[in-house]
């Protein structure tokens, strides 16, 4: 599993480089939580440019990080989403609480 962080001022960019399913979601959750706790960002951006698949465990992971960011007064965004993953996120209703962008340059 490879997750890359990029911290700029109060912005944390998290690039996830694999499928998000029940096999890896706990490792992703721990690593992202560590980054949020360590850097205390005002905004966290998930870069999904290399995510081609996500199941319901990924949705739970995203909701948990959204709640964590709200607790510290921050926000969460998801960018560079494939059409397949975007459809899953929209069916779950996440797009009603978390901004989604199909394409965006980050960094």
User: Burial level of 18, CB count in 10 A (0-12/13-18/19+)?
Assistant: middle
Q: What does the pLDDT look like over 3-14, one tens digit per residue?
A: 777 888 899 999
- Looking at domain 3-101, its CATH class is alpha beta
**Cβ contact 37:64 at 8 Å:** no
pLDDT-derived band at 37, boundaries 50, 70, 90? very high
> CA-based diameter of the chain, in Å?
33
Q: What is the pTM of this model?
A: 0.91
């Amino acid at each position: 599993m490879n997750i890359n962080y990029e911290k700029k001022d109060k912005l944390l960019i998290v690039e996830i480089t694999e499928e998000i399913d029940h096999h890896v979601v706990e490792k992703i959750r721990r690593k992202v939580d560590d980054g949020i706790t360590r850097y205390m960002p005002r905004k966290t951006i998930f870069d999904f440019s290399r995510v081609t698949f996500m199941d319901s465990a990924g949705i739970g992971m995203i909701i948990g990080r959204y709640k964590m960011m709200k607790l510290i007064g921050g926000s969460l965004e998801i960018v560079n989403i494939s059409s397949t993953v975007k459809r899953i996120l929209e069916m779950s209703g996440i797009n009603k609480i978390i901004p989604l962008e199909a394409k965006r340059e980050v960094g």
